[in-house]
Amino acid sequence: MTSFSRWLSLLLVLLTASVGLAQPSPAPAPKPLTVYFFDVGQGDAALVVSPTGKTVLIDGGPPEAGERLASRLSQLVHAPLDLVILTHPHLDHLGSMKDAIRAVGAKRFMDPGFDHPSAAYRDLLDFVGDEVGQVMTPQPNPQAPESFLTIGLGEGVVLTIYWPRHPKEPFLKNTRSDPNSNSIVAKLSYGKTSFLFTGDAEPDTEAALLRQKADYSATVLKVAHHGGKHSSTEPFLAAVRPKAAVISCGAGNDYGHPTQEALERLGAVQARVFRTDQNGEIQAVSNGSTVTLQAARGGTPPLVITGEVKPVVNVPSAPPAPAATGREAVPVAWKAPAPTPATPSPSPSALRFVSLKGSEVFHREDCSTLKRAKTKERKVYTSRSDAARERRAAEDCHP
């Protein structure tokens, strides 16, 4: 071989090596965002774990779920929760929250700041005030009062609080249930995917949200009020357009949740429904482009949903909120509200109270739930105080 041929061969080898070195390495797979919708019976509890490991617990289920919830959190969380959100002060959402915080700890606590006289709620606030470093309400940034409060969870994951907006906007009053109507409503966004959490929002809440003309579209909807018939109105579902809907409710619950009316409205928008009473714990994993939902039981195969980028409607931008350095740096809601005078109970001759066999709640005698359960054994109380000594008040008729 001539020297020229050897030189040409060497040049070809070097060029080939250079081309190989110039090839870009494959991009790393996106880190997952995971949402666990826990099976806590007739109540709500969900855990968000962000791609960077930030954790948010949304609601804490009823009292009877305490041991199970604490055990599951201990398996999934190995540092204090970054944020605990109580959507509203009802027992089926706060009953096991103390157990959850005791199990893994918490850095921040948020609730609507809506005054509610329940002893369980006041007890929780006292506990949180002692055990959690920062306690806050979701009021808008004072520097941009028209904006929504946003919380960054790393890797582009953002939690946006849409309701309530007190004191910028007054709490909803004189609704079917004021605590429900002022539930925290929040949207978790990651890339093209999103989750909308609605607590026990009522039709009044949904109407107030729609008046804000924000972008409520979501890949996955946590259905309001366990699939009750009043929430998940047609106009609201038309704005959300969920591809999947998760209903958190207890098997054979006294309220008839989820109701046929709510299921039909979800079916009309072609949302695939998952239910904790039938499917157990539901795990949703997003890579920013798709969400994969997997049920713990019921034989339901995994569902993969492709997310979509949808335009945000009239949402003002806001400067970053100042960093919180202690209780004084965030809106404080930890002091227990003073009890409000109780509404006098009807006289025994006017109204009695009833509990169904095996149930932990009692109802007004004229409650529609009792009409649906004509064949069940029941216990009748002639006074509300007698019923309250053995059972907790039902949330459908508010006895």
81 and 138 share one domain: yes
274 and 374 share one domain: no
Decide which of 130 and 333 is more confident. Answer: 130
Residue 9 lies in a domain: no
Residue 141: band (very low, low, confident or very high) from pLDDT cuts 50, 70, 90: confident
Among 68, 52, 60, 41, CA closest to 101: 60
238 and 302 share one domain: yes
List, for residues 178-220, the tens digit of each pLDDT value.
999 999 999 999 999 999 999 999 999 999 999 998 999 999 9
Summarize the confidence of residues 14-25 as an average pLDDT.
54
Residue 8, pLDDT > 60, answer no
Q: Which amino acid, residue 354?
A: V
- Concatenate the DSSP letters of all residues of 312-378 into one string: --S----PPPPPP-SGGGS----SPPPPPPPPPPPPTTT--EEEETT-SEEEETT-HHHHHTTTS-E
Ramachandran angles phi, psi of 269, nearest 5° = -100, 10
119 and 187 share one domain: yes
305 and 370 share one domain: no
Among 225, 27, 254, CA closest to 233: 225
179 and 267 share one domain: yes
* CA dihedral sign, ordered 173, 241, 41, 333: negative
What's the pLDDT score for residue 319? 39
CATH of the domain at 186: 3.60.15.10
What's the pLDDT score for residue 22? 52
Please give the torsion angle defined by the CA atoms of residues 140, 51, 293 and 219, in that order, rounded to the nearest 10 degrees: 40
List, for residues 260-316, the tens digit of each pLDDT value.
999 999 999 999 999 999 999 999 999 999 999 999 998 888 999 998 755 444 444
User: Is the separation of the CB atoms in 247 and 257 below 8 Å?
Assistant: yes
Residue 95, pLDDT > 60, answer yes
Residue 329, pLDDT > 60, answer no
Summarize the confidence of residues 140-150 as an average pLDDT.
85
What's the pLDDT score for residue 307? 87
381 and 264 share one domain: no
Provide the 3-class DSSP secondary structure of residue 286. strand
List, for residues 208-254, the tens digit of each pLDDT value.
999 998 999 999 999 999 999 999 999 999 999 999 999 999 999 99
196 and 245 share one domain: yes
My answer on whether omega of the bond before 164 falls inside 30° of 0, hence cis, is yes
User: What is the tally of structural domains in the chain?
Assistant: 2
Summarize the confidence of residues 120-124 as an average pLDDT.
95
What's the pLDDT score for residue 310? 53
What's the pLDDT score for residue 172? 97
Mean pLDDT of the chain: 84
User: Is the separation of the CB atoms in 161 and 184 below 8 Å?
Assistant: yes
List, for residues 364-388, the tens digit of each pLDDT value.
787 766 665 554 677 887 777 677 6
Whole-number Å distance between alpha carbons of 365 and 358: 17
Q: Which amino acid, residue 382?
A: T
Percent of the chain predicted with pLDDT > 70: 77
User: Other CB atoms closer than 10 Å to residue 321's CB: what's the count?
Assistant: 17
Summarize the confidence of residues 62-79 as an average pLDDT.
97
Whole-number Å distance between alpha carbons of 388 and 109: 29
Summarize the confidence of residues 108-117 as an average pLDDT.
94
Residue 28 lies in a domain: no
Whole-number Å distance between alpha carbons of 52 and 234: 36
Print the domain residue range for 264: 33-329
What's the pLDDT score for residue 384? 74
Residue 5 lies in a domain: no
- Concatenate the DSSP letters of all residues of 59-101 into one string: ----GGGHHHHHHHHHHH-SS-BSEEE--SS-HHHHTTHHHHH
Sheet holding 83-85, edge to edge: 134-136, 108-110, 83-85, 55-58, 46-49, 33-37, 282-286, 290-295, 303-306
What's the pLDDT score for residue 27? 66
User: Is the separation of the CB atoms in 357 and 238 below 8 Å?
Assistant: no
Summarize the confidence of residues 352-360 as an average pLDDT.
75
319 and 368 share one domain: no
The secondary structure element, H or E, covering residue 246 is strand 244-247
User: What is each CA distance from 330 to 60, 124, 323, in whole angstroms?
Assistant: 22, 19, 9
Residue 317 lies in a domain: yes
My answer on whether omega of the bond before 167 falls inside 30° of 0, hence cis, is yes
